[in-house]
Structure 1
């Protein structure tokens, strides 16, 4: 059966993009688990093709283990680790890289088919090419991140971790937004109810949530969730005494903002409060508007509920000392928050 070419929309294309977005979320979560288990440096080589298979046989495992034993993380943190323990951390990193390859495959093969069949709406083709380019760039940034921890550090550089996370979130957001566009087609004509100020604040909110997630990446990269585990104070102070103290990379503004445990956690906290204030203010404004579409009001209320839950999850994760399971839930709910904010802005532009 020959597929029809619809210039306006294609729900099969939308479904494909939603699957890709879901795989990106899975990769972000596995990446978070990889970081929390200290597994990210267990694979010391970048082999895009041959690396799809794990070591096969005892000799191959010993060779892989020997390469890991040569890097600072093993010598300074994990000396004496057994081969069984190494296989555990290797499994996390291998799964993360395998998911990356799977995302690329699931995106590229249908892309070729849809382009050949002229199934992708023409106005969305460039976005699909952009997604492909960003996906390739993500692989390079992933290795750039890992390489930072192979010679002089025991963990990857936090700023590179945040960059890797940020690009993954950008790919996710673009895939979801393009999927919505492919599902619904072009906006219908008529009066546009949402005031420009709402769209402006909504767009700013999406940017703020994105920034907050990058700050979360810095917290993770600096292991800052393992310190200052009281709330609402930080060791009894609102602003921690060590905010501008020497960070892991020395003194200076950059070292403070990116490498100081006190600074990155404080900034993450303050930005969280700002996100809540903006969400509540914008959401209540929309709900109180007499002529706002019911769908927009519903999305605003959902967003308020999502941000409230995320705030509670963040506090619980901090005070519990960032256990793996709770940290991953907090990370997943951050994606839900980003999606909710994106959905609100997308609906505003179509109201």
Structure 2
């Protein structure tokens, strides 16, 4: 993604970093939606008309009746009143409307920059890709929701949830990289092949870890083991491969997913500590390397807090902090990777 960098890009950089912040908020709203069980409350996908909530009592009753037809409402939330339904509806509505707002915030300034000829030709294609990724994310979100709109499934597919989550983080990564391209002076970039290679491996492993974080959330796998540092009193928990099928265990078995998520966390901490040491002689990375080390340590600490405070439900505050720190770690490592580009 080659493009020109100049002082006139200031407004575009602010616009892109605004997008980064809005995507972070959107992912956190997705976390709230998931943890409050709100994701299936809106049973229809209306990209335009869906921006408005039900406007009268009859419309609310109609929306509630449609929700009561699915398995989640019949099995888990059969006790719900209309007031209960309005509470979960709010979070899903806010999540969807924030996505619409992101689209507006990206589209209107883009048109303005085009008209005012503030966008260089080299930026056009990356921005088109940005819009396509945003649209794709919305479509993936609806495909995810549809997996739970039936009488058999009580929640959305955790696989589709992970795809939706990683697609959002891919959009975050792309937008951040785009903004860095336009805002970081070339003299601030230090070619460091060894550090760059290690950071690439870390980012790859981090993506896998974030996928497993989505699996943990989608399957409520924290409820399967709320002890630390052991897992229900064991280091190699029982029932890891109940069917003997490896792929099925690592993608669907709660205790196996739990074990993998913890293990990758420890491995990431070790690799980031090594990266921290390897970049000690790169003065331009002084801030980002320290931030990476502190963030990964905080992320592990918050993960432990989530586990130790999980009883019958996953604690919302700790879980959101854990999710936010995971995103922060991704952004810090993307920043570190960027600063060591050739």
**Structure 1 CA distance for aligned equivalents of residues 13 and 231 of structure 2:** 45
Task: State the partner residue of 1:94.
Answer: 93
Does residue 344 of structure 1 match 2:336? yes
Equivalent pair of 1:213/1:334 in contact (CA under 8 Å): yes
**Structure 1 CA distance for aligned equivalents of residues 161 and 11 of structure 2:** 34
What are the residue-to-residue correspondences of 1:124-163 with 2, within 5 Å? Answer: 124-151=123-150, 152-163=152-163
Does residue 279 of structure 1 match 2:279? no
**Structure 1 CA distance for aligned equivalents of residues 293 and 267 of structure 2:** 13
Does residue 240 of structure 1 match 2:233? no
Among residues 266, 288, 298, which one is paired with 2:287 in the alignment?
Answer: 298
Task: State the partner residue of 1:264.
Answer: 257
Task: State the partner residue of 2:63.
Answer: 64
Equivalent pair of 1:131/1:171 in contact (CA under 8 Å): yes
Equivalent pair of 2:216/2:257 in contact (CA under 8 Å): yes
Equivalent pair of 1:161/1:217 in contact (CA under 8 Å): yes
Task: State the partner residue of 2:120.
Answer: 121
Task: State the partner residue of 1:166.
Answer: 166
Deviation, 1:80, is: 2.3
Output one character per residue of 1:12-66: Cα deviation in whole Å (capped at 9) or x when no partner.
Answer: 1111011111111101001000000111000101110110000011100000000
TM-score w.r.t. length of structure 1: 0.91
**Structure 2 CA distance for aligned equivalents of residues 60 and 161 of structure 1:** 29
Provide the alpha-carbon RMSD of the alignment.
1.7
**Structure 2 CA distance for aligned equivalents of residues 179 and 110 of structure 1:** 15
**Structure 2 CA distance for aligned equivalents of residues 141 and 30 of structure 1:** 16
Deviation, 1:298, is: 2.7
Task: State the partner residue of 1:54.
Answer: 53
**Structure 1 CA distance for aligned equivalents of residues 153 and 294 of structure 2:** 40
SS where residue 342 of structure 1 aligns? Answer: helix
Task: State the partner residue of 1:3.
Answer: none
Deviation, 1:227, is: 2.1
| Unmatched tracts of structure 2, length 5 or more | none
Task: State the aligned residue count.
Answer: 334
**Structure 1 CA distance for aligned equivalents of residues 42 and 175 of structure 2:** 29
What are the residue-to-residue correspondences of 1:209-220 with 2, within 5 Å? Answer: 209-220=206-217
| Unmatched tracts of structure 1, length 5 or more | 1-5
Task: State the partner residue of 2:326.
Answer: 334
**Structure 1 CA distance for aligned equivalents of residues 141 and 190 of structure 2:** 42
Task: State the partner residue of 2:22.
Answer: 23
Among residues 318, 321, 327, which one is paired with 2:307 in the alignment?
Answer: 318
SS where residue 156 of structure 2 aligns? Answer: coil
Alpha-carbon distance change, 104 to 193 in structure 1, aligned in 2, over 3 angstroms = closer
Equivalent pair of 1:158/1:258 in contact (CA under 8 Å): no
**Structure 1 CA distance for aligned equivalents of residues 77 and 141 of structure 2:** 23
Deviation, 1:7, is: 4.1
Deviation, 1:254, is: 3.5
**Structure 2 CA distance for aligned equivalents of residues 244 and 25 of structure 1:** 35
Output one character per residue of 1:198-255: Cα deviation in whole Å (capped at 9) or x when no partner.
Answer: 1111112122222211110010000001220001111111122121226xxxx73343
